A and B are shown apart, each in its own frame.
Chain A
């Protein structure tokens, strides 16, 4: 197999990181919603934590993107 082709396949595989990020973001918002419906008065105070968790989970998906970019443009 040519090295060029392997590069593109590797970049594609790196995008699987999105699966984990998607599941994580779904879990965070789903659980927040479940908790917020049980106790709506406490929901507002936990909103910053929700955003923080969202950003942390999203970052793991972006690390996959970085790997893909490195494979495409640097290697």
Chain B
């Protein structure tokens, strides 16, 4: 949520309020799981809907000289396709649909979260962890499917004295297992910290304004605009980083080179 929205004066800032999940349509609890349609579900559905809409309108009427929508769709496609070709190689194109959907979903969630009064889906650890766990399980599965039990050689670095091996194997296994954690915490932390920061600094500007010190609030307001620009950059960058790390992990699973 953008910083200025919802802050009632300097004293009443509640920077964490924007992260609250509130039910929009109450639904019964099934087997201990609350199935209510929440604001989180709404923005998740919007992200999927808008991403699909972009790609459908982009590919509906294709021309040799592309129109605006087709150009945007082609740019998104070639961006992810190049990322996979550079990091995984042409074999990685088999996994293009998965990586492309992952990228578009995270990008749209992050960008929609920058709208005032919206809800940032990726600012919740459970969402990012579900994404990262999916990536982790898929890539481990790909590794075992391609190399069988030989995939475990990934944990044994080559050219290392035998004395050091037990220690290094343990470190490699731990670093492999912390991947889903670091992948999810990176996205979650960036989104949550960024939005909290915008909210707190935005509250200062509103507080200065409501205290009658409007001329003093002009420079901080300009800074807030710059910070919002920075947050937009971070939103795109984190989607990129999540995807490229997925590509790097996938490359390791496919080619087994350390």
CB within 8 Å of B: which residues of A? 48, 51-52, 54-55, 58-59, 62-63, 65-66
Contacts and interface: CB of A to CB of B under 8 A. Distances in A.
Contact of B186 (A48, A51, A62): A62
A25 to B, nearest CB: 13
B193 A52 contact: no
Interface of B: 182, 185-186, 189-190, 193, 237-238, 240-241, 244-245
B241 A55 contact: yes
Closest 5 CB pairs of A and B: A62-B189, A55-B241, A59-B186, A65-B193, A65-B189
Contacts of A63: 182, 185, 189
Contacts of A48: 244
B189 A66 contact: yes
Contacts of A52: 241, 244-245
With most chain A CB atoms within 10 A of its CB, the pick from B189, B193, B238 is B189
Contact of A59 (B189, B240, B244): B189
A48 B247 CA distance: 13
Given A62-B190, A62-B193, A65-B193, A51 B241 contact: yes
Q: Which of B185, B190, B240, B241: most chain A CB closer than 10 A?
A: B241
Given A48-B244, A51-B237, A51-B241, A58 B190 contact: yes
A59 B182 contact: yes
Contact of A66 (B185, B237, B240): B185
A42 B53 CA distance: 38
A55 B238 contact: yes
